[in-house]
Amino acid sequence: MASPLVKGWIYATVPIENPQGESGTGFLVLRNTGLEQGKVFLVTNKHVICSNPSQRSLVTHIKCHFNTKEPDGSAGTICGDVPLCYPDGSKRFREHVDADTDVIAVDVTDVMQFNPKIEKRWVDYSLFADEAKRKELDITVGEEIVTIGYPLGLRQGESNFPLIRQGMISTKIGTLLADKIQIQGAGLRERKLRAFLIDGATIPGSSGSPVILKPVIGRIQGDAILMGSAPPVLLGIVAETKYAPVHLGATVIPSFAGLGLAFDVETIKETIELFFP
């Protein structure tokens, strides 16, 4: 039996390149608008579009590689520029209103409509593990998770299929995460983020990857052991890879610590909802 990840998530992820030559991951989300209609958004990190906040509004396009289904049924890929403005000049993206929340959504509804070869597979809000669903599924620290994306620009062969990595939830989802970042010329700045840490599932270049509950069989939920597989719900989006200092004699170098910072799923929904004031 195929993994639930194969049926949907690997098709919903999209490798992204920005005009500065930097790359990352995004994923497609359908927001229903009623009467069997909806809009499709590409969700990623702000810094994947442009790492300089003051220059982000000047970026005119990004390059995306979408999954396609060829006439013989095989998987393929199509690459094209996705404009960041509508024909009338207005922005087709929305940034989360909190400057430290590294989440952005781009409206790609027309891109999907006018390219019939693109696989029409995405996720919708029913797979968002918000506070109520996390409580229902009893999702806790120590849960197994997977991330799906294109670290270091890697992908599978001629297709767009991403890499799947596994790890676990390291800090509680739904509480503020406090950390400090180095600001050039200004020392350390403390942040309080609606984010959580994951262990073992990120390497540099994982930005924008969805964090998903691993669909394992026999997961413990409350006092019961579930025999069916856990639903592959969306927990958040990877935004940063954490480093730790390693001392080599008189030299201190940053070393990959195996931790990734992910913003929770509520921040993703809030960003998409900015299109619907």
Q: What would the pLDDT profile of 228-254 be if each residue is shown by its tens digit? A: 778 999 999 999 987 655 555 555 445
Report the 10 Å Cβ neighbour count for 227. 8
| pLDDT digit string, tens, across residues 137-159 | 999 999 999 999 998 777 666 67
| pLDDT digit string, tens, across residues 10-19 | 889 999 999 9
Q: Is the CB of residue 238 less than 8 Å from the CB of residue 262?
A: yes
108 has a pLDDT exceeding 70: yes
Q: Residue 235, SS3?
A: strand
Q: Is the CB of residue 150 less than 8 Å from the CB of residue 163?
A: yes
Sign of CA dihedral 209, 204, 190, 196: positive
Q: Is the CB of residue 244 less than 8 Å from the CB of residue 64?
A: no
Task: Give, in order, the Cα–Cα distances in Å from 82 to each of 45, 152, 155, 159.
Answer: 16, 21, 20, 19
Q: Is the CB of residue 63 less than 8 Å from the CB of residue 82?
A: yes
191 has a pLDDT exceeding 70: yes
Gap between the Cα atoms of 143 and 39, Å rounded:
32
| pLDDT digit string, tens, across residues 12-57 | 999 999 999 999 999 999 999 987 899 999 999 999 999 999 999 9
Which positions ≥6 away from 49 have C-beta within 8 Å?
Answer: 18, 56, 59, 62, 84, 93, 104, 106
- Return the ∠ at Cα 145 (arms to 231 and 66), rounded to 5°: 80
Measured in degrees and rounded to the nearest 5, phi and psi for residue 275 equal: -75, -10
Question: Which domains are assigned to the chain?
Answer: 4-273 (2.40.10.10)
Q: Is the CB of residue 211 less than 8 Å from the CB of residue 234?
A: yes
Average pLDDT rounded to a whole number, residues 175-193: 85
Gap between the Cα atoms of 215 and 146, Å rounded:
9
Averaged pLDDT score across all residues of the chain: 88
Gap between the Cα atoms of 212 and 195, Å rounded:
14
Q: Is the CB of residue 152 less than 8 Å from the CB of residue 207?
A: no
Report the 10 Å Cβ neighbour count for 64. 22
DSSP label at residue 84: S
Measured in degrees and rounded to the nearest 5, phi and psi for residue 159 equal: -90, 180
User: Considering the chain, what percentage of its residues have pLDDT values greater than 70?
Assistant: 91
Q: Is the CB of residue 147 less than 8 Å from the CB of residue 209?
A: yes
